[in-house]
Chains A and B, each alone.
Chain A
Amino acid sequence: MNKVYLTTPIRDEDIRDLRIGDIVYLTGELITGRDDVHQRAIKQGKALPVDLAGKAIFHAGPIMQEDVSQSSGYRVISVGPTTSMRMDRYQKEFLEKTGVKLIVGKGGMGPKTTEGCVQQCAIHTVFPGGCAVLAAERVEEVERVEWLDLGMPEAMWVMRVKDFGPLIVSIDTQGNNLFERNKKGFAEKQEPIIEQINKSVDFLH
């Protein structure tokens, strides 16, 4: 398990040799984008209001609080990852369109995203799910917000972060996929277990 510190803009050579299970800490720009951002950008083909090339996107819908002392007018209260699988449908095209290098989320993503990571030299990583205050404390500043008409959880929040992590690499640039591997293991393991349980649940008369 390697431990790596990355700074945006991220170059291909910064992440090419990372492998699933490696741990990353990110410094620089991290921008939230979840269901609606992906569908606006890809299905509706709208131009993105933030240049994402070399940056990191965060599958997350934060709790932000209005704060006039901040230049963006907001400060972050709580911001943990959301289920990445929901973005699987458009993630590959999103990577192609934007040049995003690092995805942060939780749980796995499927074969299509994996293909996108290989083709675009990008990685998917997971932040410990539900640990939203921990994550918020690594945010230095909320720089601005775009597409706020989508509502607080779905908007694009541009945040400057420092040593944001631990981010566990779950899809690497070689196409290795940590959660697909785990899932396969679970599926194999559960068969004999289910069989065993089912020997003793024949309650029907």
Chain B
Amino acid sequence: MDSRFLTASDAKARLTDIVASFTDYSSKHLPDDVVERLREMSEAEHSEFARIIYDAMFENMDMANRLDRPVCQDTGLVQYFVRVGTAFPYMDVIEGALQEAVLQATQSAPLRQNAVEVFDEKNTGTNIGYRVPWIEWEIVPGRDDIEIYMYMAGGGCSLPGMAKVLMPLEGYEGIVRFVFDRVTTLGINACPPLLVGVGIAGSAEVAAKLSKKALLRTIGSENPNPRGAMLEKQIRDGLDAVGIGPGGLTGAESVMAVHIEHAARHPATLAVGISTGCWAHRRSRIRIHSNLEYEVLSHRGVAL
């Protein structure tokens, strides 16, 4: 298909179809890195409760695949994180296409209707609402493609989320304590093993946003700063030693990974944010080229 032949409305229809199928598919199949990590973690567990939970998880994933159904009933609020190249030819239609895609996937999957309008306190019944689907934009100079991360933010796994601004003298010690406290209390209800996202920055909203971006990273990746990477590992090993286990029922390990993302801070503030992803971590990634051909990057060998 040559993009020169596409009108804006044809391009929008095509983009909508791709993202709708991608969203539908992502609700039913966890990404490769998550499945691999869960398999690894499952092998480390031998206690009776841990076995019950991991066996249920894998049976559930198989059934979701076989019956073509969402892995978890809470298909979350759909969020898109878009990295758009400045030379992508269909900039104008992306936002509309993403909204349409949510509508379509809600019908086709089907997804649970999760968008509740604030103040009116009414569920819209469509998964579309004021500023929902939530879209985050990043502009990439010199590229002509777009990369979209889709994340389904479930209720249970969004509950432990929090950001706060520490005084610098509370130090990284304060950050460590903050993360442990959230994960070992509210985190145990959020369908562990969790993926723990931490953001460190100069103000609360940046820390919060980075903590969510940390959840988009592939499991096994590291913070680019050696101290950051070390802290990720230390917190992960420490949480594992607490032995939260699958479902919070205790076990040999606790978390799928700890990811830290950071931005330079103000001399007088040390802000920290946390976001947690549950074992059913529906985070997927697709690249769409300027001719609207695509590759799903999070799931090997998938044609939508």
Residue ranges of A at the interface with B (Cβ–Cβ < 8 Å): 1, 21, 23, 60-63, 65, 77-80, 82-85, 106-108, 126, 128-134, 136-137, 150-154, 166, 168, 178-179, 182-183, 185-187, 189-190, 193-194, 196-198, 200-204
Evaluate contact between B238 and A83: CB separation under 8 angstroms. Answer: no
- CB under 8 Å from chain A, chain B span 228-246: 230-231, 234-235, 238, 241-244
- CB under 8 Å from chain A, chain B span 139-180: 155-156, 159, 168-169, 171-173, 175-177, 180
Evaluate contact between B64 and A63: CB separation under 8 angstroms. Answer: no
Chain A nearest Cβ from B104, distance in angstroms: 15
Query: In terms of DSSP, what is the predominant structure of the interface of chain A?
Result: mixed
- CB under 8 Å from chain A, chain B span 49-87: 49, 52-53, 56-57, 59-60, 63-64, 67, 69-75
Taking CB as reference atom, which chain B residue is nearest A84? B189
Q: Indicate the member of A82, A131, A197 with the most B CB atoms within 10 Å.
A: A131
Evaluate contact between A151 and B125: CB separation under 8 angstroms. Answer: yes
Q: Tell whether A189 pairs with B243 under 8 Å between CB atoms, given A61-B112, A132-B70, A136-B69.
A: yes
Evaluate contact between B234 and A151: CB separation under 8 angstroms. Answer: no
**6 pairs from A and B in contact (CB 8 Å cutoff):** A62-B112, A83-B156, A153-B114, A168-B52, A182-B188, A200-B234
Evaluate contact between B171 and A134: CB separation under 8 angstroms. Answer: no
Instruction: Give me 10 other A-B pairs in contact (C-beta within 8 A), A194-B180, A204-B169 excluded.
Output: A23-B52, A63-B73, A80-B74, A106-B189, A128-B57, A129-B247, A132-B72, A134-B56, A134-B59, A186-B244
* Bound complex: CA A1 to CA B48 (Å): 9
Chain B nearest Cβ from A89, distance in angstroms: 15
Residues of B within 8 A of A137 (CB): 63
Taking CB as reference atom, which chain B residue is nearest A36? B121
Partner of A201, one of B112, B176, B188: B176
Chain B nearest Cβ from A35, distance in angstroms: 10
> Which range contains the number of B residues in contact with the other chain?
35 or more
Any A CB within 8 A of the CB of B111: yes
Partner of A83, one of B155, B175, B177: B155
> What is the 8 Å Cβ interface bit string for chain B, positions 102-128, against chain A (1 contact, 0 not)?
000000001111101000001101000
Residues of B within 8 A of A84 (CB): 189
Evaluate contact between A190 and B172: CB separation under 8 angstroms. Answer: no
Partner of B64, one of A21, A133, A183, A196: A133
Any A CB within 8 A of the CB of B190: yes
Q: Tell whether A129 pairs with B180 under 8 Å between CB atoms, given A77-B110, A83-B190, A193-B242.
A: no
Residues of B within 8 A of A134 (CB): 56, 59-60, 63
Any A CB within 8 A of the CB of B185: yes
* Bound complex: CA A52 to CA B171 (Å): 52
Q: Tell whether A107 pairs with B188 under 8 Å between CB atoms, given A134-B56, A168-B49, A179-B248.
A: yes
Evaluate contact between B189 and A128: CB separation under 8 angstroms. Answer: no
* Bound complex: CA A190 to CA B171 (Å): 18
Evaluate contact between B60 and A132: CB separation under 8 angstroms. Answer: yes
Taking CB as reference atom, which chain B residue is nearest A201? B172
Chain A nearest Cβ from B242, distance in angstroms: 5
Evaluate contact between A166 and B188: CB separation under 8 angstroms. Answer: no
* Bound complex: CA A151 to CA B188 (Å): 27
Any A CB within 8 A of the CB of B278: yes
* Bound complex: CA A104 to CA B238 (Å): 31
Q: Indicate the member of A151, A196, A203 with the most B CB atoms within 10 Å.
A: A151
Evaluate contact between B123 and A151: CB separation under 8 angstroms. Answer: yes
Q: Indicate the member of A178, A182, A200, A203 with the most B CB atoms within 10 Å.
A: A182
Evaluate contact between B57 and A201: CB separation under 8 angstroms. Answer: no
Any A CB within 8 A of the CB of B41: no
Q: Tell whether A194 pairs with B176 under 8 Å between CB atoms, given A187-B184, A202-B171.
A: yes
